[in-house]
Amino acid sequence: MPPPFCLSTPFIFSFTPCPISPAISVIVCAVPAPLAHPPFRNKANTTPKVRRLPLLNAIVSTVNDALYSYVLIILLVAGGLYFTFRCRFAQFRMLPEQLRVVRERPSDGKGVSSFHALMVSTASRVGTGNIIGVSTALCMGGFGSVFWMWVIALLGGATAFVESTLSQIYKRRGAEGCYGGPAYYIEAALKWRPLALAFSVLLILTYGVGFNMLCSYNLQSTFSTYSFYDTATTPWIIGLVLAVLVGYCLFGGGKRILRITGVLVPIMGVAYILVALLIVLCNLGTLPSVLARIFREAFDLRAIFGGFGGSCVMYGIKRGLFSNEAGVGSAPNASASAEISHPVKQGLVQTLSVFIDTILVCSATAFMCMCSGVEPTEALSGAPFVQEALRATLGGFGPVFITVAMILFAFTTLLGNLYYVTQSFNHLLGRVPGRRFCTIYYLLASGVILLGAGLNADLLWGIADVTMGLMALINMPVIFLLGKYAYRALADYKRQKAEGRDPVFRAADIGITESLDYWN
């Protein structure tokens, strides 16, 4: 059998001293072709021929390993534990309230609802990483990586609550609704504009360039097993079609993005989970041994400490972060757009988004792969493992379903990412961009999607991981400093609920005396 197609996956940034705390310095599958052998081609024959940049690859790989092997793992796990205790396990204890507030509508009937804000953030979170990322974690880190993905999601729920509540507290009012995000609470609360600008630039590079180019590449790769696939032309044709479709939605305005994701994301997620359940039920006898293997490999100390850079802990946390983005600071840009009576409501909703992404969708991918009987290997890393797992149970329908799921995952991810980029441009310019700027930006965004279809995947994965990690390095210390306002807001919310009222937020009630653009 030919080898399967495989996706693989010190800089110092200095800013002006913070006036308040100087301590802060610092996706893919294939439809079977009419061939006698399994429909995988040699990677050398399916990857578009592009110029490789060995020096840049080496630099990106070094920074990537340093960030995810040590710094971010400590920061995210410690931060998640800290926020969990400070919020008194709100991500678990207030689950019924999360399900209630997500159904609330804006008081004026015109603004962005909590549900639509949830769908935008979920559209970005639930993407190709839920298939490729999980498959890669299983093949490279073993079954134990699933456990550590769960850990980062359960702890990340508290992190998502804090950052999204802060984005609501410090959001601003605009002509087309409210907006905000980490750049806004950094600037408003810390009075540190250079850091806020740096965050906005990193978000644009991560979501507007890195993630979208990678998403486009992964999507075109799903067609590499078709008999018509040609490395010289097919990637560009598929990239062009995708760029045109996304451009059409962008020129329809932000409201159209919200409507499209509001329809596609629930359908996509429910169908994917149902198919995963079907596969698990068809292989129910393997479930006990799969669960035992998850926990056995998760706590295999020799495997963990013998080579930490390739351990189940590193892969679980790295791919968990790539998937649910808790602590990165992206989802707060969507949560700030919701028109609600109290910031805590949107904090609870975004906690739910993290659980949907990792506990539901990522687990669906993991269990349908692990229960299929197909053994994960490094050669199958990425889409091939998922393809073979579904083929083993569902036959020819499996790859077809994954192809459709990947198209929907990629499309909604692109739209959600570009929504975040738009909010960052709003911050950089200090206003809502004019029509001419938006036209140029939309054309460039579509061009990036087209370009990504023909570039090298290894470099794209590396750049996206590095810029996302740098976003987390800025956002996590900031929400540590500002977290007290989220805790106070949570206490205020619980007090009003205990009094039988629908909570209404007043900044003075949590000790914020300065004028806030939205709430005052």
pLDDT digits (tens, 9 = 90+) for 378-414: 777 777 788 788 888 888 788 778 877 888 778 778 8
Domain total for the chain?
1
Compare 182 and 173 and report the one with higher pLDDT.
182
Give the contacts of 484 (CB within 8 A, at least 6 positions apart): none
What does the pLDDT read at residue 225? 67
**Looking at residues 191-217, what average pLDDT do you find?**
89
Give the closest residue to 358 by CA, choosing from 152, 143, 159, 180: 152
Give the closest residue to 290 by CA, choosing from 136, 144, 141: 144
SS (H, E, C) 159-204: HHHHHHHHHHHCCEEECCEEECCHHHHHHHHHCCHHHHHHHHHHHH
Question: Is 18 inside any structural domain?
Answer: no
- The answer to whether 342 and 504 have CB atoms below 8 angstroms apart is yes
What does the pLDDT read at residue 119? 66
Compare 169 and 302 and report the one with higher pLDDT.
169
pLDDT-based confidence at residue 120 (cuts at 50, 70, 90): low
Question: Is 34 inside any structural domain?
Answer: no
Compare 305 and 256 and report the one with higher pLDDT.
256
What does the pLDDT read at residue 194? 93
Taking the C-alpha atoms of residue 506 and residue 495, their distance in angstroms, rounded to an integer, is 13
| Least confident segment among 55-64, 95-104, 298-307, 487-496 | 298-307
Question: Is 195 inside any structural domain?
Answer: yes
Which structural domain, as residue segments, surrounds residue 390?
53-499
What does the pLDDT read at residue 63? 81
Compare 190 and 61 and report the one with higher pLDDT.
190
pLDDT-based confidence at residue 309 (cuts at 50, 70, 90): very low
Taking the C-alpha atoms of residue 426 and residue 439, their distance in angstroms, rounded to an integer, is 14
Question: Is 81 inside any structural domain?
Answer: yes
What does the pLDDT read at residue 122? 65
Give the closest residue to 246 by CA, choosing from 213, 204, 205: 213
Question: Is 308 inside any structural domain?
Answer: yes
Two structure tokens written together for 326: 């808790």
Question: Is 28 inside any structural domain?
Answer: no
Give yes or no for residue 48 having a pLDDT over 60.
no
Q: What percent of the chain has pLDDT over 90?
A: 18
Question: Is 22 inside any structural domain?
Answer: no
Question: Is 25 inside any structural domain?
Answer: no
- State the CATH number of the domain containing residue 384: 1.20.1740.10
Task: Using alpha carbons only, give the angle 114, 116, 120 rounded to the nearest 5 degrees.
Answer: 115
The model's pTM is 0.79
Give the contacts of 448 (CB within 8 A, at least 6 positions apart): 208, 209, 212, 213
List, as one string, the DSSP characters of 13-76: ---PPPSS-TT-------PPPS-SS-S---HHHHS------HHHHHHHHHHHHHIIIIIHHHHH
Task: Using alpha carbons only, give the angle 469, 13, 449 rounded to the nearest 5 degrees.
Answer: 50
